[in-house]
């Protein structure tokens, strides 16, 4: 299958100072052809990657800092719009992402195929990123079981649950142009077209972003008087998701099927989209993909990096009656397990993934303090220490990414929705890490480990009270907590 190529490329020298005078003139003329960059700029250039001045502090430079608070990461400046840089990008290439060109390709990719039946989701996603991701996979499973091979993109709305709590269009978070190149192995996602979708109308509201930029969040609703479920066969597009739990139930059914390695013909057909999806069809929006690629290059510069999903936020600890025997709440114990598994550093850098804001807010509480508040305070102190001093006696750098990385990138849209966008960036950094450490009581960890398994990245561990255990080596891991 041909790879969807939507990134214009240009090769330039590392240093303009080395150019001849003639080449300088040509370079200036080339730049004059590029649209001017403003707050809503559609074109951006990214500095070569893999440089020594990546912005991350070394453990040695951190040692003199106040250990009670983490040193703020000094990421290299990122322009207001960003582009997707291929994994193979060399350090002397200048990668360019043109948002206008991508939008044109996206609209073409989302054209309706008139001979293919289309479904429209009637409920909204809720909860955190990975619970929403499970529901997304569930509705695709429903569509496959019902014979629908196209899904109406504006009917799929994500929720910035831990940020603005607002709805976000699916195609603003994920690369739908890339996704649709995997059809028919995955269902196509299509835009609203009244010619083919006469029984819904497009609605939605306009949200004003930072800098006065206005963005419409489109969604669709049925505009007919009849019961769309009783008249499903004549309703265009057909409704999908008869209750809010149906998508999650469908996802769980699919996971049980893959766990048992069943060869049931009908179920095999219904769930066939899962492996191509998790192995590569699902990809962040090009803006977010650029951040993943850029940080991946930094983290792996000169060696390997580990993604460590430290799920020790207080909400997890307070769920102490669920899967209690599998949980480790004390971060010091988790780190001891890592050092036991790896007496010598297996990587040059550790990316620690956790919700800093949540933990810091909990640590500031002055009322209703319980044992979980105390534990959270202790864990946060440990995090701040390793972020400042490093791991393995300071030989390994420890960094953070996520929402702050998205906010620093400067785009008003993704800055507003940095909570869910940062979660996506973190997820795909975890997927592309050399070593991944997480916990089986987290959907985030399980989805990341399974995505890595289907991409041939097999060094995956979950921390349990006994230490680290290897997972997703010979088969994907089933979340059962």
**DSSP states along 219-278:** EEEE--SS-TTTTGGGSSSEEE-SSTTHHHHHHHHHHHHHHHT---HHHHHHTTTHHHII
Residue 149 CB coordination number (10 Å): 18
User: Residue 470 above 70 pLDDT?
Assistant: yes
Residues 327-357, buried b or exposed e (16+ Cβ, 10 A)?
Answer: bbbebeebbebbeebbeebbbbbbbbbbbbe
Q: Note the pLDDT of residue 274.
A: 87
pLDDT-derived band at 82, boundaries 50, 70, 90: very low
Distance (Å, whole) CA 253 – CA 256: 5
pLDDT digits (tens, 9 = 90+) for 419-440: 999 999 999 999 999 999 999 9
Tokens representing 147 are: 């014979």
Query: What are phi and psi for residue 127, nearest 5 degrees?
Result: 75, -160
Residue 198 CB coordination number (10 Å): 13
pLDDT digits (tens, 9 = 90+) for 349-363: 999 998 888 889 888
End-to-end CA gap in the chain: 37
Q: Are strands 43-45 and 93-98 parallel, antiparallel or unpaired?
A: antiparallel
**DSSP states along 420-464:** HHHHHHHHHHHHTSSEEEE-TT-HHHHHHHHHHHHTT---EEEEE
Tokens representing 283 are: 């990809």
Does the predicted TM-score (pTM) go above 0.85?
no
Q: Are strands 157-159 and 167-169 parallel, antiparallel or unpaired?
A: antiparallel
Tokens representing 171 are: 């195609």
Distance (Å, whole) CA 2 – CA 30: 30
Query: Residues 157, 170: contact at Cβ < 8 Å?
Result: yes
Query: Residues 115, 148: contact at Cβ < 8 Å?
Result: no
What is the arithmetic mean of pLDDT over 151-177? 95
Rounded to whole angstroms, what are the CA distances from 132 to 129, 409, 444? Answer: 5, 25, 11
pLDDT digits (tens, 9 = 90+) for 387-419: 999 999 999 999 998 888 999 998 999 999 999
Please report which helix (H) or strand (E) contains residue 172, including its range. Answer: helix 170-173
DSSP state of 326: G
Tokens representing 440 are: 């089986």
Distance (Å, whole) CA 367 – CA 373: 10
Residue 310's SS3 state is coil
The contacts of residue 451 (CB under 8 Å, 6+ apart) are 278, 279, 431
**DSSP states along 18-32:** GS-HHHHHHHHHHHH
User: Residue 49 above 60 pLDDT?
Assistant: no
**DSSP states along 85-113:** --TT--TTEEEEEEHHHHHHHHHHHT---
211 vs 167, which has greater pLDDT?
A: 167
Residue 372 CB coordination number (10 Å): 17
Which residue carries 């709805």 as its tokens?
A: 167
236 vs 56, which has greater pLDDT?
A: 236
DSSP state of 292: H
User: Residue 44 above 60 pLDDT?
Assistant: no
- Among 8-17, 178-187, 372-381, which is the least confidently predicted range? 8-17
Residue 70's SS3 state is coil
Distance (Å, whole) CA 67 – CA 387: 9
Range(s) of the chain covered by CATH 3.40.50: 286-471
User: Residue 78 above 80 pLDDT?
Assistant: no
The hierarchical CATH code for the domain 286-471 is: 3.40.50
Distance (Å, whole) CA 218 – CA 162: 21
Distance (Å, whole) CA 443 – CA 418: 20
User: Residue 20 above 60 pLDDT?
Assistant: no
User: Residue 341 above 80 pLDDT?
Assistant: yes
């Amino acid at each position: 299958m041909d790879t969807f190529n939507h990134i214009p490329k240009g090769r330039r020298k590392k240093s303009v100072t080395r150019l001849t005078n003639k080449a300088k003139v040509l370079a200036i003329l080339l730049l004059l052809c590029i649209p001017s960059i403003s707050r809503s700029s559609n074109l951006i250039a990214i500095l070569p990657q893999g440089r020594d001045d990546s912005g991350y502090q070394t453990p040695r430079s951190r040692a003199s800092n106040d250990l009670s608070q983490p040193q703020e990461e000094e990421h290299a400046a990122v322009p207001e719009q960003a582009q997707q840089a291929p994994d193979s990008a060399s350090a002397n290439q200048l990668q360019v992402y043109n948002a206008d060109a991508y939008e044109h390709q996206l609209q073409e990719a989302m054209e309706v195929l008139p001979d293919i039946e289309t479904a429209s989701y009637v409920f909204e996603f809720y909860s955190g990123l990975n619970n929403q991701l499970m529901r997304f996979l569930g509705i695709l499973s429903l569509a496959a079981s019902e014979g629908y091979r196209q899904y109406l993109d504006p009917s799929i709305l994500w929720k910035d649950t831990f940020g603005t709590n607002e709805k976000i269009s699916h195609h603003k978070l994920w690369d739908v142009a890339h996704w649709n190149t995997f059809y028919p192995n995955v269902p196509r996602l299509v835009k609203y077209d009244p010619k083919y979708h006469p029984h819904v109308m497009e609605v939605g509201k306009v949200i004003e972003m930072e800098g006065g930029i206005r963005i419409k969040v489109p969604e669709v609703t049925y505009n007919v008087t009849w019961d769309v479920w009783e008249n499903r066969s004549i309703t265009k597009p057909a409704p999908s998701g008869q209750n809010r739990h149906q998508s999650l139930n469908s996802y769980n059914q699919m996971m049980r099927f893959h766990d048992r390695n069943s060869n049931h013909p009908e179920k095999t057909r219904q769930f066939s989209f899962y492996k191509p999806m998790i192995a590569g069809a699902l990809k962040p929006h090009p803006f977010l993909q650029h951040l993943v690629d850029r940080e991946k290059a930094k983290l792996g510069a000169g060696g390997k990096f580990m993604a460590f999903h430290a799920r020790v936020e207080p909400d997890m600890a307070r769920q102490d009656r669920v899967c209690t025997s599998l949980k480790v709440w004390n971060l010091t114990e988790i780190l001891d397990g890592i050092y036991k598994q790896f007496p010598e550093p297996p990587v040059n850098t550790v990316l620690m993934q956790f919700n800093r804001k949540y933990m810091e807010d909990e640590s500031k509480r002055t009322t209703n303090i319980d044992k979980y508040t105390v534990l959270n305070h202790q864990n946060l102190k440990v995090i701040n220490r390793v972020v400042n001093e490093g791991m393995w006696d300071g030989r390994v750098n420890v960094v953070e990414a996520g929402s702050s990385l998205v906010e620093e990138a400067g785009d008003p849209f993704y800055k507003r929705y940095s909570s869910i966008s940062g979660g996506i960036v973190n997820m795909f950094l975890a997927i592309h890490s050399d070593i991944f450490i997480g916990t089986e009581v987290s959907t985030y960890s399980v989805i990341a480990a399974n995505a890595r398994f289907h991409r041939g990245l097999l060094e995956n561990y979950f921390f349990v009270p006994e230490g680290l255990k290897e997972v997703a080596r010979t088969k994907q891991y089933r979340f059962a907590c």
